[in-house]
Amino acid sequence: MSDDPVIRVKHLRKVYRMGMIEVQALQDISFEIQRGEILSIMGPSGSGKSTLMNILGCLDSPTSGEYILDGVPVANLRDDQLAQIRNRKVGFVFQSFNLLPRLTALANTGLPLRYAGVVKGRDTRARQALEAVGLGERLNHRPTELSGGQQQRVAIARALVNDPAILLADEPTGNLDSKAGREIMELLLTLNRERGTTVIIVTHDPTIAAQTQRVIHLRDGLIEEAA
């Protein structure tokens, strides 16, 4: 395994133009994330954390600057190239789970493999991912038959099934009660500790951030503090 950072960001800027108005969403952001880290990105509304998450997840491109993801310079890639990198190197976990209601847990988990054109071994890999998050007995259950915490576990299994370079979790406990939220956070910590999964959590909750190895604080598009 390479000792290079899994993420290297240099002088990243993102400018949105609305008519004659220019909004500096990110201003000269630079940082690195090492393989196997678990960290949080925090900041108030309008701080730029959602913009940064979209760029890290290859959902958007910066206006200028450099972004290297798992050895691949991605800042200037076309949309179709970004989609390929996104499917291979980024696992997403969202606050709202984003599961397809008609599909089973197994089918939902296997979707990234399906999109990647993987046929052989797809169900086996999806089953292994569900077992890794403690849902080996819920393979054929649909989202409506699962609790919120179980649905989020399916979403985490789906994010892991492609063995991505990074797991990007956007407020992963935001739609859960406190007990389920603690269980999901413990699962993310366990995946990081036992599998070496690089986990980036975008959160407004200081109790979540306190459990990660370090925190990047954003304010007004700038890194205010990197603890």
Q: What is the pLDDT of residues 24-56, one digit of tens each?
A: 999 999 999 999 999 999 999 889 999 999 999
**Using one digit for the tens of pLDDT, what is the confidence trace for 124-183?**
999 999 999 999 999 999 999 999 999 999 999 999 999 999 999 999 998 899 999 999
What CATH superfamily classification does 36-61+78-226 receive? P-loop containing nucleotide triphosphate hydrolases (3.40.50.300)
**Angle between the N-to-C axes of helices 148-160 and 178-195, in degrees from 0 to 180, rounded to the nearest 10:** 20
Decide: helix, strand or coil at residue 202: strand
- In percent, the amount of the chain with pLDDT more than 90 equals 81
Q: Where are the domains of the chain?
A: 36-61+78-226
Q: Phi/psi of residue 80, each to 5°?
A: -70, -35
Q: What's the pLDDT score for residue 144?
A: 95
Among residues 132, 130, 95, which one has the least CA distance to residue 109? 130
Decide: helix, strand or coil at residue 9: strand
Question: What is the C-alpha to C-alpha distance for residues 74 and 86, in angstroms, rounded to an integer?
Answer: 10
